[in-house]
Amino acid sequence: MEQEKYRILAVAPFKGFQNFFLQEIQKRTDIEADIYSATLYETEALMSTLDLSRYEVIICRGRSGRLIKELSPIPVINVDFSSFDILRALQLAMLSPQKKIAFVSYFDLNDDIQFLCKLLNYETEIIVPNPPKNQEEMEELINTLYYNEHIQLFIGDGACVHCAKILDVDSVLVTTGPESMQKAISDAVDLCKMRRKIISENNFYKEIIEQSSLPLAIFNENSNLVYSSLFTSGHKDRIHEDLKSRIPKLHLHSHIKFLITEGQTSWKAAGEILYHNDSPYYLFQVSDSIPLVLAQSQFWKSIDYEDAKSSLPLIKGNPIHREYWEKNQGIMIGKTPVVICGSPGSGRTVFSYALYASSPYKANPLIEIDCSHLNEKQCEKLFKDERSPLFENNYTILFKNLNALSPTIQNAFCYYFENLEIVSRHKIICTFTGNMGDLIASSQFSQNLSYIISGFTIQLPSLNSRPELIVSIARSYLNSLNQELPIQIAGFEPEALTLLKEHHWEFGIAQFQAVLKQLVIRSNGQFITAENVRSLLSHLVPSETAPPGDTAINLYQPLDDIIRDIINLVLREESMNQTKAAKRLGISRSTLWKKLKI
């Protein structure tokens, strides 16, 4: 196969450069070249008229070369002044009768010139000023040397000679000799070979990626999609949109893992930053995950930092949790498992979210697995399917209601935890209802499993055990609701607080917060009154009093009340996040608000 000729463009700042270039090109059969003449002042205009995509490399000289490098998307070989070039110019200067000489160039050549002058025993002093940075400085420098220093002969590049001609003073141009041109053309050919090799390798790797269907998406520094091999029909645009929204977080953490969900389908994804020419590129790898819905119910879901961070103010601002939070923040360092015990509604899930949101693992998702909804088929899918998030690394895995596992599944957990090294690969958090020791003693919970998850244990108190905190909790949560809801409540009547304090909160802090939210929504004044509290407490239905996870709905009530109960249930499952609840219900936030207000 005949080798394609190397395509070279040359820009000649003076006629001698053009002649030497053409002489060298005629000696070779592997080069196809074009050459144009342009002074430094004509170079930019010339470049704007040329189709540079026709060439592989450009050869030029001096300041023109520097300018072309700024303008050109293709490589540039700049023919520098060689010692032979300078030597020839100095020898010509020696023939001149002028005694006041200056060497002016855009390049710092002082050491070379002084060395050559000594070598030639040239006794006449040659002034070598600091190189000018641009055309204006060159003109100013030449004028200063001529009028103030009375320079009679200038040696330099094309720009120097151009300025000297304007002043009608003698000048010597440092030209490019044949040896410099030979080297430049040889370097240009080597650069073309290397460039072709890189392009060929890039095309080869790209072809491999495309043929292997490796699911990748790459965004540039402007968050524009520049490459994608995602072939998931019907969901590709949705996945691209989600990936693009993750770029700010990826830029912050350099490497992230997360899950994308759409209906009953989910995808595992990982992102990392790559740099090319000092510009960041955002690379995402996407692969199928196990379906969200297996059998009748959703038993696991993915939560990322943006969703979980809303739990931080709820925990830090809640007097009943604040003490436990301050004591246990450090437990998320390392992978020692954490068990959070408490009665229903004690805030174990929200506390777990807060631990995750403040942990070193927050760049990766939290996978929440509800053990109360986990059957044997789902358990096998979770631990055996390689698409499961449990086969990743450095996730936070929250096993909710671990005590609800059947004995058979508890034994399966022991087997899989040990053989898949779950505890060493992930940060494990478990929530537990009741006393683990009592359940082990009564053979309701596996002692082996308790050993596997043993580490840090947090026992959250029930709200009924700390009635003295109810008033401060109510005021703190009211402040949060005023920021969240489009309504402002100034406070509580004293009797209203007394009623809240005396009520038995069967389902703890979760029930208490749900009731407070209903009081705020239903209030018609600036204060929550005793009548408001008395009326709501006397009409509580199971869905309004149950903690998250209890899906009891009273169907023997008006439709508006059923709708409101369903919305409240979804709100609790989404940690009172209205945006997520509205999205899950397929309605807007304003519609959600109106239906709660009914």
* pLDDT number for residue 314: 83
Q: Quick one: 14 and 148 in the same domain?
A: no
84 contacts: CB under 8 Å, gap ≥ 6? 177, 179, 180
Give the least confident one: 446-455, 468-477, 587-596. 587-596
- Domain extent, residue 112, equals 83-173
The per-residue pLDDT for range 211-261, each reduced to its tens digit, is 666 788 999 999 999 888 876 557 888 899 999 999 998 988 888 988 888
Residue holding tokens 């996870």? 549
The per-residue pLDDT for range 556-594, each reduced to its tens digit, is 567 777 787 788 777 766 666 777 778 778 788 778 777
The per-residue pLDDT for range 319-342, each reduced to its tens digit, is 888 889 988 888 988 899 999 998
* pLDDT number for residue 556: 52
**Residue 208 covered by a domain:** no
Between CA 392 and CA 58 the distance in angstroms is 49
Q: Quick one: 120 and 52 in the same domain?
A: no
CATH number, domain of 282, equals 3.30.450.20
Query: Binning pLDDT at 50, 70 and 90, where does residue 357 land?
Result: very high
Q: Residue 180's CB: how many other CB atoms inside 10 A?
A: 20
Residues 50-70: what's their mean pLDDT? Answer: 90
CATH number, domain of 580, equals 1.10.8.60
The per-residue pLDDT for range 112-166, each reduced to its tens digit, is 888 888 887 887 788 999 999 888 899 999 999 999 999 999 998 888 988 999 9
Q: Which of 21-25, 275-279, 543-547, 554-558 has the highest mean pLDDT?
A: 21-25
Q: Quick one: 280 and 302 in the same domain?
A: no
Mean residue pLDDT of the chain comes to: 85
Instruction: Give percent of the chain with pLDDT exceeding 90.
Output: 36
Report how far apart, in Å, the C-alpha atoms of 424 and of each of 23, 282, 308, 481 are. Answer: 71, 29, 23, 40
Q: Quick one: 276 and 329 in the same domain?
A: no
Element (H, E) at 65: helix 62-71
**Residue 207 covered by a domain:** no
Q: Quick one: 306 and 393 in the same domain?
A: yes
Q: Is 42 exposed, middle or buried (0-12, 13-18, 19+ CB in 10 A)?
A: middle
* pLDDT number for residue 553: 60
Q: Quick one: 26 and 155 in the same domain?
A: no
Residues 259-272: what's their mean pLDDT? Answer: 83
**Residue 263 covered by a domain:** yes
Q: Which of 464-473, 534-543, 550-559 has the highest mean pLDDT?
A: 464-473
Q: Which of 461, 478, 509 is the last residue of a domain?
A: 461
Counted domains in the chain: 5
* pLDDT number for residue 212: 65
Q: Quick one: 481 and 450 in the same domain?
A: no
**Residue 274 or residue 575, greater confidence:** 274
Q: Which of 126, 161, 196 is the last residue of a domain?
A: 196
* pLDDT number for residue 597: 63
**Residue 528 covered by a domain:** yes
Look up residue 3 and give its amino acid: Q
Task: Count CA atoms within 13 Å of residue 227 on its CB side.
Answer: 15
CATH number, domain of 340, equals 3.40.50.300
**Residue 1 covered by a domain:** no
CATH number, domain of 89, equals 3.40.50.2300
Q: Quick one: 561 and 436 in the same domain?
A: no
The per-residue pLDDT for range 368-416, each reduced to its tens digit, is 999 988 888 889 888 988 888 898 899 999 999 999 999 999 999 999 9
pTM, two decimal places: 0.56
Between CA 544 and CA 313 the distance in angstroms is 23
Q: Quick one: 187 and 264 in the same domain?
A: no
* pLDDT number for residue 362: 92
* pLDDT number for residue 297: 46
Q: Quick one: 488 and 544 in the same domain?
A: yes
Tokens encoding 326 = 């301050």
**Residue 317 covered by a domain:** yes
**Residue 532 covered by a domain:** yes
* pLDDT number for residue 575: 60
Q: Quick one: 114 and 232 in the same domain?
A: no
Tokens encoding 483 = 């920021």
**Residue 10 covered by a domain:** yes
Q: Quick one: 430 and 379 in the same domain?
A: yes
**Residue 280 or residue 207, greater confidence:** 280
Between CA 246 and CA 320 the distance in angstroms is 35
* pLDDT number for residue 243: 94
Closest by CA position to 223, among listed 193, 197, 242, 244: 244
Q: Which of 242, 272, 288 is the last residue of a domain?
A: 288
